[in-house]
Amino acid sequence: MIKLLGLFLIGVGFACRLNPLLVVVVGGIATGLLAGFSFHEVVTMIGQYFTDNRGMMLPVILMLPIVGLLERHGLQERVAALIRRAKAATAGGVIWFYQVLRGVTSVFGLSIGNHAAMVRPLIAPMAEGAERTRNGQPAEPERAEIRAHAAAAENVGNFFSDDIVVAVGALLLIKAFFDNAGVEVALSDLKLWSLPTALWVIAVGWWRYRRLDRRLKKAADKKPEEPS
Amino acid sequence: MTLLTLDFFLALCGVVLAAVGGLIARDATHPQRWGSALFWVLLAVAIGGGKWLPPAIVGYTVIALALLVATKRVGAPRFVAREAAVLEARAEVLGNRLLWPVLLVPAVAIVGGLTLGAVKVGEFVLVNPKQVSQIALALGCVGGLMWALRLTGERPLQAAREGGRLLQLLGWALILPSMLAALGGIMGKAGVGEVIAGLVATALPVQFPLVAVVAYCAGMALFTILLGNAFAAFPVMTLGVGLPFVVKAHGGDPAVMGALGMLSGYCGTLVTPMAANFNIVPVKLLELRDDYAVIKAQAPFAAAIWVFNVVTMYLCVY
């Protein structure tokens, strides 16, 4: 039970809104010390795991200079202008479309983007542009809500349609685990049983983003007309 | 013999980060000039040099980064965007060409991911098959950057400046995902997962088939919330609860259980700040004020999907 103390510290740290990085470092060191490793051993482990996992940062670090450079030359303005031509587009509609597209490509084990490569440069400005055409310039809370939903669509599209046709990640891990445990499982069955949730997620997305559009409409109606 | 490795591109990341740190050090108006410069230069060393440095050095460097952040020595200046009229005019001039570098990245990532692994000449392999998708993405980024530089006519240093503007928005959130991976590794070595699985199995009446399913799915979500990673939760919960109770005691189908169990874990991923690269990094990237804005948008998703998974598993697994 004493092993859970590190986890408990992390929970308390997050609840007190301390800096997450500090909380995680302290929690990791505490967990290692309580498990009987020396301080130096724990730090060495942190270094090793950090090095093994630093590839996670690569897509962000290499993508941001491109996005920043293009934003300096009007990328967001251009994307918003493009979506203005599609009169029927709504913020929720754009976001739902991206979630489905992200999901459908993910079915084949392909990744078309992430928050740095797609959501910040393209999807969020598109959704905001659609909202501007429809209901006028959104106020700050509405703008934040559109952006948060765009980020959510990336995650939801990414997570729930993994590997259904071409297995590259999660399903291979599940298969490998069952093989090691001596339980017979066919990869095709795993693929089949991932399908219902993938379809359900599209429906949930449709419901969530339709609600978003309705809320945006309501907020715009309340706002007095102002010349833009 | 492998020609292109991920370490090469990570060294390139180190160069970008060092440039960001250097630019901050030269900026006398930066509110936290020296602390921020040190942060980015140290990070450049840890990421760029990681494989060639002893793990202990990287470990102490990472702890130094956390201390710099905790003592509030790292910050971002207020960036002044170009005037709206200038941006509109540039958008008008460059038009859709602005989109191509951004779209090139996923295109190269997908095509490269499918083809690069097969390229070999004699004993020379172009890329390690295990790293092929990440390397293809990195190549896409390099290509996209060159295209963007050519299109905008800017110098490479300006790319570092603009990249630095966005990287400083991220700040500590950039390294949180890797630190969480380290935390997960330490917890694995310490045997934390087994303790939790044991708690779930003893605390609930898992002799009822429905309770076993709910306990397994809830355990997957809960454990993922705590550790931020469904892949780490899966072996622990499946060994501790799934296999002994759902499969062995009640005769459930392991394929149904495994697939839906992992998807239940993802519901936990949607609502935890511990999955920082999915839930905290976008908050900073999209300049949202509320750290939990993305999690709040995702919580109804997580609830609806989790309930669906439990119902589907209960109806189909036995």
Q: Are residues A44 and A116 in the same domain?
A: no
What residues contact residue A162 under an 8 Å CB cut-off, 6+ apart?
A106, A107, A109, A169, A170, A171, A194
Contact B152 A69 (CB under 8 A): yes
Q: Are residues B202 and B140 in the same domain?
A: no
B255-302 confidence digits (pLDDT tens)? 999 999 999 999 999 999 989 989 999 999 999 999 999 999 999 999
Q: Which residues of chain B have pLDDT under 70?
A: none
> In chain A, what are the helix, strand and coil shares in percent, each to the nearest 5?
80, 0, 20
B237, part of any domain: yes
A3-43 confidence digits (pLDDT tens)? 788 888 888 888 888 888 999 999 999 999 998 999 999 99
- Per-residue pLDDT at A90: 95
Domain boundary among B113, B140, B174: B174
- The domain in which residue B207 lies consists of 190-317
Choose, out of A78, A162, A178, the residue to mutate when testing the contact with B (most B CBs < 10 Å): A78
Q: Are residues A91 and A180 in the same domain?
A: yes
Position A228 pLDDT exceeds 70: no
Q: Are residues A203 and A167 in the same domain?
A: yes
Q: Which residues of A touch B296 (CB under 8 A)?
A: 148
Total tally of structural domains belonging to chain A: 2
Q: Are residues A94 and A52 in the same domain?
A: no
- Per-residue pLDDT at B122: 79
Q: Are residues B116 and B10 in the same domain?
A: yes
- The domain in which residue A211 lies consists of 74-222
Choose, out of B72, B166, B316, the residue to mutate when testing the contact with A (most A CBs < 10 Å): B166
Q: Are residues A182 and A125 in the same domain?
A: yes
**Out of A50, A64, A112, closest to residue B46 by CB:** A50
- Per-residue pLDDT at A166: 73
**Out of B192, B273, B277, closest to residue A56 by CB:** B277
- Per-residue pLDDT at A224: 66
Q: What is the ipTM of this complex?
A: 0.88
Q: Are residues B116 and B84 in the same domain?
A: yes
- Per-residue pLDDT at A226: 56
Total tally of structural domains belonging to chain B: 2
B151, part of any domain: yes
The C-alpha torsion from A194 through A196 and A197 to A200, rounded to 10°, is 160
B80, part of any domain: yes
A193, part of any domain: yes
A228, part of any domain: no
3 state SS for chain B: CEEECHHHHHHHHHHHHHHHHHHHHCCCCCCCHHHHHHHHHHHHHHHHCCCCCCHHHHHHHHHHHHHHHHCCCCCCCCCCCCCHHHHHHHHHHHHHHHCHHHHHHHHHHHHHHHHHHHCEECCEEEECHHHHHHHHHHHHHHHHHHHHHHHHCCCHHHHHHHHHHHHHHHHHHHCHHHHHHHHHHHHHHHCHHHHHHHHHHHHCCCCCHHHHHHHHHHHHHHHHHHHCCHHHHHHHHHHHHHHHHHHHHCCCCHHHHHHHHHHHHHHHHHCCCCCHHHHCHHHHHCCCCCCCHHHHHHHHHHHHHHHHHHHHHHHHHC
The token pair that represents B242 in the structure block: 């799934």
Contact A120 B106 (CB under 8 A): no
Q: Are residues A41 and A130 in the same domain?
A: no
B180, part of any domain: no
Query: Taking the model in full, what pTM does it have?
Result: 0.87
Domain boundary among B174, B201, B236: B174
Is the separation of the CB atoms in B168 and B35 below 8 Å?
no
Q: Are residues B149 and B244 in the same domain?
A: no
A62, part of any domain: no
B181, part of any domain: no
Domain boundary among B124, B142, B174: B174
Q: Are residues B122 and B194 in the same domain?
A: no
Q: Are residues B64 and B150 in the same domain?
A: yes
A99, part of any domain: yes
A66, part of any domain: no
| Residue closest to B94 by CA, chosen among B150, B143, B141, B155 | B150
- Per-residue pLDDT at A225: 60
Position A227 pLDDT exceeds 70: no
